[in-house]
Chain A
Amino acid sequence: MTSSKAHPDHQRIIEAGLKAGNQAPLRDIYREVAPDITAALRSKGADLSTARDIFQEAMIVLIEKATDPDFILTAPVGAFLRGVCHRMWLSRLRQNNRRAEVSLDGILTSPSEGPDLGLEEGELNGRCFRLLDQCFNQLSETCQALLLRLKKGLSPTEIAEQLGMSSRNTFDRRKFACIQRWRGLMQAADPKGICQQQLL
């Protein structure tokens, strides 16, 4: 990262919006930047559905970054999303072996140009965050409640009482079983370990 100074959008979007579960900033982002970015992608050969799909994946990357307490948005949110979409589109072109056929000028120039996104290449995949979320939602209500209440600062003893567990020992056992189950579901949904591979 070339600079760690937060852009005003960091407060507007990341702090005040996404982390607080407020959907208004999301709607603002769509209104302000989605039409231009998807139009730019279409001008480079993406069809309507692909352009929207890429923009949506870029939005997931943004909210995934909002989960990281160390992430600082150093560019306007529109530039961030444009940069992510740009890299995703290049990645799809590479996958389709079509790189030689298209022009990569305009907004779709080199990934090293443009604002610093604070992202590694491997992080450009919103599907892994979606997977984390989907698999968490497949856990039982008890597992979800246990893990979330622990995060909200309740003590293990309080949670054990609330969820009808007989002892602290049972709580610990259940907690790790829930985490294992969550990991197992992710592994089952991602048998090739693509999300695992991008972790390092």
Chain B
Amino acid sequence: MNEADLQLIDRYLSGALTPAEVQKVESRLSEDLDFARSLRQYQQQDNYLDYRAKGGVLPSDLDAVAADFWQGADAESEPEAAPTASIRPIRRYLSIAAAISLLLFAGWWLSRGSATVDGPSLYADQMVLPRIDNSIRGELDPADSLYQAAVTAYNAGELSTARPLMDRYLEEYGLDSELLLAYAAASIELGAYDEAEIALRQLDASTSLLRNEVPFYRALMLLKQGEVAAARELLQTVTNGDQKLEDLKKLLAE
């Protein structure tokens, strides 16, 4: 959905269109399913804002009330659970020993075959911060100067400075897949994994060719956190012609 369509929907819902424009929108609504969905989603966003602006109860409030209620209900029924406290110590020690054995076995199982691969080291070898060429952009308006500032800092390796600027640009001026990928890579490098994952998902959901890069950076993110088996498993399911990805697969298979 482009900004022009979003503005059109906004003006349609707020009654700012002429009768001829209204007719045109309504005709499009009956033919264009995506446009009709976008309008419905816009209405939902609008209803949500209206409700929230009036201070309505939100899901997080509800979760807090539920946690409180069920905690109270469980506490009232606790006496029924009392017999479990009388398990004889020897049985408890056996349970603990069994749990430890299980954990050790699980650890061995997950790490088998990856004894020679050190995730963070492989990450350090393979991590490539995608470079952005900003020479074709001028400084015509605030968007471009913000972009220039973000990219200049990023290309200079000043990631802590670049990240908030990139975040601001992406929020204010919409999706720029090249910048989004760089933002994800910078977030991984700085250990901001949640933000990196959100950016990678956004890129994955876009139509940009750069979405092919998503599995590579997702695997690197796992490696940096030492999750070698998970990275290997992730890459086994992906084939998209990306050479970096194939190289990483081979390294993980060794």
Contacts and interface: CB of A to CB of B under 8 A. Distances in A.
Contact of A19 (B1, B56, B65, B173): B56
Interface of B: 1, 3, 6-7, 10, 33, 36-37, 40-42, 44-45, 47-63, 65-66, 68-70, 73, 142, 167-168, 170-175, 198, 201-202, 204-205
Given A23-B57, A189-B201, 4 more contacts: A26-B57, A151-B52, A177-B3, A185-B202
Nearest to B55: A21
Contact of B59 (A130, A150, A152, A180): A130
A52 to B, nearest CB: 6
B59 A129 contact: yes
B115 to A, nearest CB: 35
Given A30-B65, A69-B50, A18 B202 contact: no
Contact of A188 (B7, B52, B66, B205): B205
B133 to A, nearest CB: 24
Nearest to A129: B59
A183 B38 CA distance: 10
Contacts of B41: 183, 196, 199
Contacts of A189: 201
A30 B69 contact: yes
A191 B205 contact: yes
A43 interface: no
Interface of A: 17-23, 26-27, 30-31, 34-35, 52, 56, 59-60, 63, 66-69, 126, 129-130, 132-134, 136, 138-140, 143, 147-148, 150-152, 170, 173-174, 176-185, 187-189, 191, 196, 199-200
A151 B66 contact: no
Nearest to B172: A177
A27 B69 contact: yes
Given A132-B48, A133-B48, A188-B202, A200 B36 contact: yes
Nearest to B73: A35
Sorted nearest first, the 10 A-B pairs with minimum C-beta distance are A21-B55, A188-B201, A151-B53, A67-B51, A188-B202, A30-B69, A199-B40, A151-B49, A67-B47, A130-B59
